[in-house]
Amino acid sequence: MTITFRIHYHTDWGQYITLLSNHAELSRLTLQAQDDGWWEGTWVTPAPPAQFSYHYTLTTEDGTILEEEFSRDRQLTLN
């Protein structure tokens, strides 16, 4: 299964959007910059979990977290 994560967020040069998850196979995914402030990342897995949580962070090139979503984690439930 292929799961694509997409978020719109303005970053400065040298900053990246990273997805952090509670699932071991998808613990960290650095998204790729797209046009007009969109960021996108794809996770391909043969056996996706029924449910997992994740949140986005703003990071630097060396992985330092500059900002992090502090509200409740986002939940993804697959049927």
d(CA 50, CA 57): 23
For residues 71 and 51, which has the higher predicted lDDT (pLDDT)? Answer: 51
- Over residues 35-52, the pLDDT tens digits come to 999 999 999 988 888 888
- pTM for the full predicted model: 0.85
| Residue 23: band (very low, low, confident or very high) from pLDDT cuts 50, 70, 90 | confident
Domain ranges of the chain: 2-74
How many angstroms separate the Cα of 24 from the Cα of each of 8, 34, 57, 66?
Answer: 25, 26, 18, 23
| Residue 70: band (very low, low, confident or very high) from pLDDT cuts 50, 70, 90 | confident
Kind plus residue range of the DSSP H or E element containing 77? strand 74-77
Architecture (CATH level 2) of domain 2-74: Sandwich (2.60)
